[in-house]
Amino acid sequence: MKKKTNGFLWLSATPFFVLIIGFLFLPFIAMITSSFRKTGETSFSIANYTEVFSNKFYLQAIGNSLLISFLASLIGILVAVFVAYSITKFSSKGQERLLLLANMTSNFAGVPLAFAYIVLLGTSGLFTILFNELNIGIFQGFNLYSWFGLVIIYIYFQIPLAIMLLYPIYLGIEKKWKEAATLLGASPMQFWMKIGIPFIMPGIAGTFSILFANAMGAYATAYALVGSNFNLLPIRIGALISGDIFAQPELGSALAVFLGVSMTVALLINEWLMRLVRRDLA
């Protein structure tokens, strides 16, 4: 159909796709093929996957990751549901500033965040000392380097992200709807039960799946806190592929494929739920 070749299109698209292929597709394919190869062999094998799903250690890493991601996302979204709604009650200038702050703190993750929590709640952390001096026991027996400490930090980086994702969904609730509902005799409670919550529900669920994927893939925070000692899926993958003598890249690939698949599922769920919201809007 096209009779003229578009030189400009070719010239600009080629380097782009070369880089995409080189740094996205090829590594992706390499990871998948390597996951189906036993260490030192070239033939097809699902040994790595059987290893992953029968070895208690890796199963525990998967379980830990799923659990911590679920908990941190759940708490994060519960908090954000209220905070994001409260933000919509501010003046438009105030809303803009609050979102700026949320945006900034959402960038505050990984190594710097882990460090800030060490300063605050580490063994000689400021709060730890403060509450010890004041003889308030809320941090008694608290250990930042424990599982519980990790959840606390994960929640921290989930909240601003959740606020930023939920805020536009609240804005989608138009004032007109509330006015129309009031004129039709609905109480504020009835409005929320019949219109407001059904409208934002897919958005909340979609946000949850993004948070979940975000937590599943998080590596730097936990790594900075306790190095490779914590048995989480990303940490295991990192340890399996990094160049020490115990490196088993094929096994790492299998774990990485599993992680990638679970994140894809979470993101597809979000995509699907968001489409529900958008269909309502259209």
Partner 1 sequence: MRENKRVHQIIVTITLLYLFIPLAATFLYSLSTTWNKTILPEGLTLKWFSELFQDPRFIDALMRTIQLTVGTMVVSILIMVPAIFAITVYAPRFEKWLQTIVLFPYAMPGVVAAVGLLSIYSKSGLSMVLVLGGSYFVLILPFMYQGVRNSLRTVNAKTLVEAAELLGASRSTAFWKVIVPNITPGIIVSSLLSFSVLFGEFVLANILVGGNFETIQIYLYRRLRESGHLSSAIVVSYFLLLLVLSWIMVSLSRRGTLKLKKKEPTV
Partner 2 sequence: MSFLTIDNLSLSFGDVKVLNELSLSIKKGELVTLLGPSGCGKSTLLRSIAGLVEADNGTIVIDEKEVTHINPKDREVGMVFQSYALFPNMTVEENISFGLKMKKMSNSEIQQKVQSMIQLVGLNGKERSYPRELSGGQQQRAALGRALVVEPKVLLLDEPLSALDAQIRARLQTQIREIQQKLGITMVFVTHDQEEAMAISDRIFLMNNGEIAQSGSPVEIYTRPNSEFVARFMGHYNVLNTEELQQILGLDHGLEGDLFGIRPEAFSEVSTHDDELKVTGEVQQVSLLGNIVRYQLKTGTQYFFAEHLHRSHEYTKSGDIKTLYLSKKDVIPLT
Kindly state whether residue 1 participates in binding partner 2, applying the rule CB under 8 A.
yes
State which of residues 190, 195, 201, 217 lies at the interface with partner 1 (CB under 8 A): 217
- From 193, 196, 163, select the one nearest 177 (Cα to Cα): 196
In the bound state with partner 2, the residue whose beta carbon lies nearer, of 8 and 57, is 8
Can you tell me the distance from the alpha carbon of 237 to that of 58, in angstroms, rounded to the nearest whole number? 10
Kindly state whether residue 3 participates in binding partner 2, applying the rule CB under 8 A.
yes
Kindly state whether residue 223 participates in binding partner 1, applying the rule CB under 8 A.
yes
Kindly state whether residue 109 participates in binding partner 1, applying the rule CB under 8 A.
yes
| Binding partner of residue 237 among partner 1, partner 2, none, CB cut-off 5 to 8 Å per kind | partner 1
> Which region holds residue 135: left if phi is over 0, alpha if psi is between -120 and 50, else beta?
left
Minimum separation from the CB atom of position 8 to partner 2 (A): 12
Q: Is 37 helix (H, G, I), strand (E, B) or coil?
A: strand
State which of residues 46, 104, 171, 180 lies at the interface with partner 1 (CB under 8 A): 104
Q: Which of residues 10-49 bind partner 1 (CB under 8 A)?
A: 11-13, 15-17, 19-20, 22-24, 26-31, 34
Task: Give the other-Cβ count within 10 Å of 227's Cβ.
Answer: 10
Kindly state whether residue 68 participates in binding partner 1, applying the rule CB under 8 A.
no
Q: Are 35 and 257 in contact (CB under 8 A)?
A: yes
Q: Are 221 and 114 in contact (CB under 8 A)?
A: yes
Minimum separation from the CB atom of position 188 to partner 1 (A): 10
Minimum separation from the CB atom of position 15 to partner 2 (A): 25
Kindly state whether residue 4 participates in binding partner 2, applying the rule CB under 8 A.
yes
Q: Which of residues 242-261 bind partner 1 (CB under 8 A)?
A: 242, 249, 252-253, 256, 259-260
| Binding partner of residue 3 among partner 1, partner 2, none, CB cut-off 5 to 8 Å per kind | partner 2
Give the number of residues written for the chain.
282
Can you tell me the distance from the alpha carbon of 55 to that of 49, in angstroms, rounded to the nearest whole number? 10
Among 1-9, 77-85, 116-124, 257-265, the segment contacting partner 2 (CB under 8 A): 1-9
In the bound state with partner 1, the residue whose beta carbon lies nearer, of 6 and 55, is 6
Minimum separation from the CB atom of position 126 to partner 1 (A): 5
Taking the mean position of all CA atoms in its chain, how far away is CA 246? 29
Torsions phi, psi of 37, nearest 5? -125, 135
Q: Which token pair is 53?
A: 């799903």
Using a 10 angstrom Cβ sphere, with 0-12 exposed, 13-18 middle and 19 or more buried, the burial of residue 48 is: buried
* Beta-bridge mates of residue 37: 44
Kindly state whether residue 87 participates in binding partner 1, applying the rule CB under 8 A.
yes
Q: Which token pair is 45?
A: 């094998």
Minimum separation from the CB atom of position 2 to partner 2 (A): 8
Can you tell me the distance from the alpha carbon of 244 to that of 235, in angstroms, rounded to the nearest whole number? 14
Minimum separation from the CB atom of position 1 to partner 2 (A): 7
Q: Which residue ranges make up the site for partner 2 (CB under 8 A)?
A: 1-4
